[in-house]
Amino acid sequence: MSKEIDNFFRDIQNNIINNFNSLEGSKKDVYDDVWNRADGGGGRSYIIKSGKFFDNCAVNFSSISGNKLPPSALKENTKKNGKFSATGVSVISHPKNPFVPTSHFNIRIFRIFDKKDNLIDFWIGGGYDLTPYFPYQKDCIDWHNNSKEYLANFNRSLYKKFSNNCNKYFYIPHREERRGIGGIFFDNFKQYSLEKSLDLLKMTSHTYINSYMNIANKRNKCLYNKNHKNFQEYRRGRYVEFNLMYDRGTLFGLQSKGRIKSILSSLPKNVQFHYEIDKEMKKYEKRLLKYINKDWNV
């Protein structure tokens, strides 16, 4: 079963890679890195740098195991913490064009085994969110509508719950701002059988990539100038702050002694930090905050 689950996640990674490569064409720097851990497991990191479409992008698969889960991954309602397997795919895209939003996606499954390698517990998590710099109302509505429609195939109550989770999780307390316009987020989730749980993860991946590709193909046609690019790089600073200070995925990677370069591949290539911003940037930011501090639950 472990091999089947690994292949399930690898197929999802390959689908996302193929879609992102269609945006890039042939002009790109790619690191396609298959790796193994001495203490159990391995993965594949697919990194696009300095491309036609992406400043940088990471599509990572990992499958690791151990004898004790790190605290950041321990399920709140279980005291079982023995031999474990953690498998997942994570994606972060930082496009070159400031009018194309940054996107984040991840799905994962944690499994706990007894001393005879029998499965005794499991749970899933994942989701995706969108971080625009120059937002469009239609994109925001479509992003959430697509989530609502696919989750209704499982339970109509899930969208509201997962969307609220996303708003709460991707929040930067010291800025009193959300990271973006949200999406969905779920963790420690076990309401379905293993088979149906994997179906939910698969549909999450399909909805993410289809929604993002639609926005990316439209907004990449927008012309931009140096002021737009400067604002994008300034707002990327918020992304860095959240990932390094609050993100549980980053914390899990560090606590599980993961590959540092894979963990930090989520960070943007170019970022600007300013003590103060000029009037033009303030105008852009005022408009942006109206979008990211709004509840887009549809």
Q: Which residues are catalytic?
A: 104
The answer for residues whose C-beta is within 8 angstroms of residue 196's C-beta and 6 or more apart is 154
Measured CA to CA, the distance from residue 252 to residue 10 in angstroms comes to 20
Of the candidates 94, 155, 83, 92, the one whose C-alpha atom is nearest the C-alpha of residue 119 is 83
Measured CA to CA, the distance from residue 46 to residue 155 in angstroms comes to 33
Q: Are 25 and 52 in contact (CB under 8 A)?
A: yes
Of the candidates 97, 210, 217, 220, the one whose C-alpha atom is nearest the C-alpha of residue 145 is 210
Measured CA to CA, the distance from residue 59 to residue 67 in angstroms comes to 27
Measured CA to CA, the distance from residue 292 to residue 279 in angstroms comes to 20
Ramachandran quadrant class, 121 (left: phi over 0; alpha: psi -120 to 50; beta: rest): beta
Question: What three-state secondary structure class fits 45?
Answer: strand
**Tokens found for residue 156:** 């109509």
Strands (E), the chain: 29-36, 41-49, 54-66, 83-95, 102-113, 119-131, 171-172, 177-178, 182-189
Amino acid at 155: N
Measured CA to CA, the distance from residue 164 to residue 185 in angstroms comes to 8
Residue 182, phi then psi, degrees to nearest 5: 85, -160
